Amino acid sequence: MAQSALRGSHARASRRLPSLLTWALLIALCASALAASRAAANVPASPSPSAPSAAVFESSTGRPVFGRAAGQRRLIASTTKMMTALLTATTVRLDRVCTAPPYAAGPLETQIGLRAGERMRVRDLLRAVLLPSANDAAATLAVCVAGSRGAFVARMNARARRLGLAHTHFSTPIGLDDPGNYSTAADLVRLAIAAREEPFLRQTMDLRSAVLHSGDRPRTVVNRNTLVQRVPWVDGVKTGHTNAAGYILVASGTQHATTFVAAVLGDPSEGARDADALALLKWAFASFRVATPVRAGAVYARPAVKHRPDEHVAVVAVRDARELLRRDVRVRLTIDVPRELEGPLPAHAVVGSAVVRADGRPIARVPLVTRDRVPEVGLLEQAGQALDGPGSLIAIAVLLGGAGAWFLRARGARRRERRRTDMETA
């Protein structure tokens, strides 16, 4: 009877076993799905702007993170003035005084009301170009810098080629609609990044307003980029609008020393333009980060000098490894340097590398070099080190054996030399 009860308990346990395994498998699957959902939640879905053409780049690496018809050529309106400002700021002094030429403006053009012959400094003209987008100020800069608008436009196109803006062409320093004045979302972002490298332009495009002190009278100008007006971390760059081009905005934002630049072209309204640009910038900051796992000059290893175990050499990186990464990517740094270095080696000799991996995939390799020279260790010092070590008797035997072999070879060579000399004498 006891055996029958035992068999019954075994049967009930065997029936429960598949059920327990099933529940364990379900729990594991649920945990895996929960972990995957949490990982996915860390990176938001890509935005869907209303603009027909858009692009977002990270500024320091120049890498694109989003594009929609980013290479499509379009009219660009007053974002043309980014090149007008960049070319001016890198060609003439900011305190140079320019004389305004006659300018026949259309009824809807933005101006600061320069009269022909009025004199204004370049820095104030640049503020008028970047903030309210004054057409008369852009025309004045073109003539002041190059002597004529045509010559200035030729320089604009030459600078575009040097910047690698392969799908950009200018026919005006102002941005009025013209089939020969076009660019793309991606090229406008690249142009904005170049303009932001100039300190005066970068500071100016981040102003809400400015006072122009030169000219016939003081003028107060207001930034037409309303995102700069109301979002603290948005710090540029330039607006544009014509009926044919639609509403355009190149916007930059900086958080924690990282800057993203977005361009939206052809939006149907100013509100849609601002909403698109802001959504793209927010998405970029939420989705990506800039990491510097390797820094130039930082010490990444201290190998010993061979035969001098108490002396170590600092090994440093030759450059930064600055990488743009998705926020859900894991970064690992691997250092490959020998435990000992044998001299002589000069300072800055390459002795290893630092490898950056993102989710196991190598994305950067930085050479590691000696910060100082590695001295040569002579035979006597090597012998002294050997005598201090645990194998000193063996080392002494080896040294004595080597010295004896050298002595015998030298004595044999002298004997052969004497015999040869005797034969020649005979």
* 104 and 232 both lie in a single domain: yes
Q: Is residue 400 within 8 Å of residue 387, measured between CB atoms?
A: no
Q: Interior CA angle at 26 toward 22 and 31, to 5°? A: 150
Q: For the chain, how many structural domains are there in total?
A: 2
- φ and ψ at 93, to 5 degrees? -70, 150
* 258 and 127 both lie in a single domain: yes
Q: Which among 370, 396, 414 is the end of a domain?
A: 370
Contacts of 249 (CB under 8 A, 6+ apart): 225, 227, 238, 239, 240, 262, 263, 264, 267, 273, 274, 276, 277
CA dist., res. 310 & res. 356, Å (int): 30
CA dist., res. 255 & res. 252, Å (int): 10
Q: Is residue 397 in some structural domain?
A: no
List the domain range (segments joined by +) for residue 106: 53-288
Q: Which among 254, 288, 322 is the end of a domain?
A: 288
Query: For the whole prediction, is pTM greater than 0.85?
Result: no
Q: Is residue 36 in some structural domain?
A: no
Q: Is residue 240 in some structural domain?
A: yes
* 303 and 282 both lie in a single domain: no
* 221 and 334 both lie in a single domain: no
The CATH number of residue 67's host domain is 3.40.710.10
Question: How distant is the alpha carbon of residue 146 from its chain centre?
Answer: 33
Taking phi over 0 as left and psi of -120 to 50 as alpha, with beta for the rest, 266 belongs to left
Residue type at position 124: D
Write out the chain's pLDDT in tens, 426 residues.
Answer: 444 444 444 444 444 434 444 334 344 444 444 444 444 446 788 889 999 999 999 999 999 999 999 999 999 999 999 999 999 999 999 999 999 999 998 888 999 999 999 999 999 999 999 999 999 999 999 999 999 999 999 999 999 999 999 999 999 999 999 999 999 999 999 999 999 999 999 999 999 999 999 999 999 999 999 999 999 999 999 999 999 999 999 999 999 999 999 999 999 999 999 999 999 999 999 999 999 999 999 999 999 999 888 899 999 999 999 999 999 999 999 999 999 999 899 999 999 999 999 999 999 999 999 999 999 876 655 555 555 555 555 555 555 555 555 566 666 666 665 555 444 443
